[in-house]
Chains A and B, each alone.
Chain A
Amino acid sequence: MSRHRDEHLDLCAARVLGMLDEAGQAELDAHLAEGCATCEAELRALAGGAMVLAMSPPQHRAPAAVRERVFAAIDSGAASGRQLTPDVRALPPRPWLSGPAGVLLAAAALIAVALAGVSAWRRTESLTRDLEAARAQTDSLRRSLDEERGWASVLTAPSARTVTLAATPAGARALAAELHYDPASGRALLFAQGFAAPEAHAYELWAITASGPTSLGVVHAGADGRAVVRLERVARDGAVAAFAVSLESSGGSSDPHKPSGPVVMLGKLPG
């Protein structure tokens, strides 16, 4: 058995939060497979902590429409399963069976048919569930496809505009960003690189109109500094004159209509 080490406890914590990489996952799985009461107890305790986190957000009522959709999908599958349930009473008579041996044979046959029927019903039920799952997945994929088509139109729509944001003197040289904006739909796509913010800071995107700047949110870049941001509900009325990026403390500016930090990128809409 692999000897328990304190590092295993850190792996347990990472696993409970879904933060474990493949190597860590393999190491912990191997360790647990050999039996470690300490880590098993640790996992139980840490899972309780994760559950407290799950309960910590402000509580909201789940919309009733979701419940209706969930059970409508389930009911449609369950109903077809019930219709396919076999009815052994409907078996045709067997006139060539008579006497005690015939009764026994008939009983055995009925039992065999019933067992086969139960087995078939279970298979049917399983297939029905698979079908329902496939339908739900198809619906989900269709929604995703529609959504992707909608976003692709930001790049191809006749009304779409492309804005190249350039670093200001206050911005780092590595900053680069291009924003595609469709005033007709109010949607925009930002492609950014070099957006790894300095420690305890974050880059925040702004739309600038005649009435001033409005925050479009903090840009969360990956470890490589790249980010693709989808923005909905950017002003539709063509009032946007420019987009800008500011460098803020982590979490962004406290005022959604005024950057707190320096403006590090700016790009005007082409006239």
Chain B
Amino acid sequence: MNDTEQDRRCWDRVAGGDPAALAELYDRYADLLYSLALRIVGSSSDAEEVLQDAWLQAWRSARSYDPARGAVGAWLVTITRTRALDRLRSVGSRRRGEAAASVDAVAEPPAPALDPATGYARRALRTSVATAITALAPQQRQVVELAYFEGLSQSEIASRLGAPLGTIKSWTRQALLKLRERVPVEALP
């Protein structure tokens, strides 16, 4: 049974009202989701609230999860990102200096791996992700990062970068496909 299938079975238990199953998933995904929220909102206190709200929303709406629309991990990422972008918009502006200070303050060492194989798999995945990101053309990387982490629309990105809308659309798609190609399918949540 792969991780995706394991997550799905776990989520079936969550949908049945089993908090222990949610705890399993929390321990598997909390660091990823917190890091994503922190990248978007830029402050550890905001990221904590985003993480808390996202898990409570996932618990409340557990039965609305549709496996046909993607893996559990992807669904949790979507909830967290949406919450974080809402938070970012409500705050109004990133506070760069504060953000840097906050990120430094929470940069704890990574948790020890459960076993050597798990540790190796995680390091390999992180290497693949980093390689895939740095392999993107600078404009393509900028476009998908503005969209994903700042929630800008394609028109807003076109305006900010001074590029035609059609070009932005093309860069968006090319970037996503390249990222997908460079990271092993089985490694993705």
Chain B interface SS verdict (over half): helix
Which among B5-13, B35-43, B113-121 touches the partner chain? B35-43
Please, how many angstroms separate the alpha-carbon atoms of A47 and B176 in the complex? Answer: 8
Give the residue of B35, B51, B59, B126 whose beta carbon is less than 8 angstroms from that of A74.
B59
Quick one: which of B98, B110, B129, B151 contacts A233, CB cutoff 8 A? Answer: B98
Residues facing A in B62-81 (CB within 8 A) are: 70, 73-74, 77, 81
Identify 13 residue pairs between A and B in the complex whose beta-carbon atoms are under 8 Å apart, listed by A's number.
A14-B172, A18-B147, A21-B153, A46-B180, A52-B182, A53-B133, A53-B148, A54-B32, A56-B133, A71-B26, A130-B60, A143-B49, A227-B92
Say how far B127's CB is from chain A's closest CB, in angstroms: 11
In contact, A57 and B38 (Cβ under 8 angstroms): yes
Q: Which one of A104-112, A215-223, A262-270 is at the interface?
A: A215-223
Give the residues in chain B near A232, CB-CB below 8 Å.
95, 98
Report the interface size for chain A: residues with CB under 8 A from the other chain.
70
Instruction: State in angstroms the CA–CA spacing of A184 and B149 once bound together.
Output: 33
CB <8 Å contact, B35 and A52: no
Residue B1 lies at the interface, judged by CB distance under 8 Å to chain A = no
Partner of B144, one of A17, A78, A130, A196: A17
Asked if A163 lies at the interface with its beta carbon under 8 angstroms from chain B, I say no
User: Does A75 belong to the interface (CB within 8 Å)?
Assistant: yes
Residue of B nearest to A64 (CB): B30
Please give me the residue from chain A that is nearest to B55 by CB atom: A70
A residues near B, CB below 8 A? 9-10, 12-14, 16-19, 21, 45-63, 65-67, 69-71, 73-75, 78, 81, 125, 129-130, 132-133, 136, 140, 143-144, 196, 199-200, 214-220, 223, 227-233, 250, 252, 256
Q: Check B144–A53 contact: CB distance below 8 A.
A: yes
Residues of the A chain whose Cβ atoms lie less than 8 Å from the Cβ of B52: 66, 69-70
Q: Which of B30, B93, B179 contacts A230 (CB 8 A)?
A: B93
Contact A70 B26 (CB under 8 A): yes
Query: Are B36 and A217 in touch, CB under 8 angstroms?
Result: no
Task: Name the distance in Å between B154's Cβ and chain A's nearest Cβ.
Answer: 5
Interface residues of B, count at CB 8 A: 84
Contact A54 B169 (CB under 8 A): no
Instruction: Decide yes or no: A54 and B31 within 8 Å by CB, A48-B183, A81-B17 being known contacts.
Output: no
Q: Does residue B161 face the partner (Cβ distance < 8 Å to A)?
A: yes
* 14 additional contacts (CB under 8 A) given A125-B17, A232-B98: A10-B173, A13-B176, A17-B172, A49-B144, A51-B73, A57-B35, A58-B35, A61-B111, A74-B19, A130-B60, A196-B159, A229-B92, A233-B97, A233-B98
Question: Across the two chains, which residue of chain B brings its CB closest to A144?
Answer: B90
